[in-house]
Structure 1
């Protein structure tokens, strides 16, 4: 799980909407990009300014699944069309 803290109310609202609708959300922070499902959003009461703690479960990247078959090859002799 990925833990992210923000003080931006608009950003916290965007993550709440993504959580409610069951969509993936993307966080870009310190050069890292994490995409996944929002698990929880909690407002932290320990600081003077409003801070939200967002927990995201990262999604695995889609991998190419080998089919075990070679691609279909068609051989069309050029002499047949002359």
Structure 2
């Protein structure tokens, strides 16, 4: 097994960040965290879309109710006898 450290970029002071023989475990932990973060982001997006869909449905329902009420009122006025 190669025990030489791996370089994973530079620190703010300009020194390389070195990863030792624990690097595969670190990469596995990072991959898990990234995967969990992506799942959480996806859930939040789904929740946002769901609430947006509910809002749009409610708006469409209100618009339909208003249109129906307007039509009913027009028909009622047309059918009323003139005095």
Q: Same fold (TM over 0.5)?
A: no
Point out the structure with max Rg over C-alpha.
Answer: 2
**TM-score between both structures, scaled by the size of structure 1:** 0.19
**TM-score between both structures, scaled by the size of structure 2:** 0.19
* Larger relative strand fraction: 1
More RCO (CA 8 Å, sep 6+): 1
